[in-house]
Amino acid sequence: MLRNALPLTVVTLAVASANSCSGQARIAAAGDSVALAEVRYAPSTFDTVSWSTPASRLEEGRLVWRSCCAMCHGVSGAGDGDLAGARALEMPTLELDSIVCSGDICSIRHRIFIGSHGTMPMWGLHGLAYREIDAVSAFILECIRSDDVTVDQYRR
């Protein structure tokens, strides 16, 4: 039990530090949190996630996208979300492959789980289960980055 409490304590301390610090100290705290997320990331866990249908996976992904991702990345993934605009953050477009999230689902899952230094939340540590990360990763790959009209229903 103590072993499970230690990572939570470290995250809590990192978040508290980040909230009370500024400048370089905040960047260092964010880096520590990303490092913790890297340690906690277990890609083999995605092998245990199953879906009744591909459509149910995309529908769950759409819900996660709308509630967690669209506020920064925008509804269409163009990087024009309201929160990003309000905080003057530059968000990458997810409509195209990029170095950050290449066109394979494993790299997209990884980025969502670990976040990034100071801008993207570490969703794997704060808020999303592996199942939700799998679903939104599939949604990004199959809907946000697709010109296929058959997936338009999921973009709404």
Q: What is the pTM of this model?
A: 0.73
108 contacts 140 by C-beta, under 8 angstroms? yes
Q: H-type helices in the chain, by residue range?
A: 2-20, 23-40, 54-64, 70-73, 82-86, 105-114, 130-139, 152-155
For residue 69, what are its two tokens? 């991702």
pLDDT tens, the chain, 156 aa long: 444 444 444 444 344 444 444 444 444 455 577 888 899 999 999 999 999 999 999 999 999 999 999 998 898 888 889 988 888 888 877 776 665 566 789 999 999 999 887 778 899 988 899 999 999 999 998 888 776 544 455 445
CATH topology of domain 42-155: Cytochrome Bc1 Complex; Chain D, domain 2 (1.10.760)
50 contacts 138 by C-beta, under 8 angstroms? no
For residue 134, what are its two tokens? 């799998």
The residue ranges of every structural domain in the chain are: 1-40, 42-155
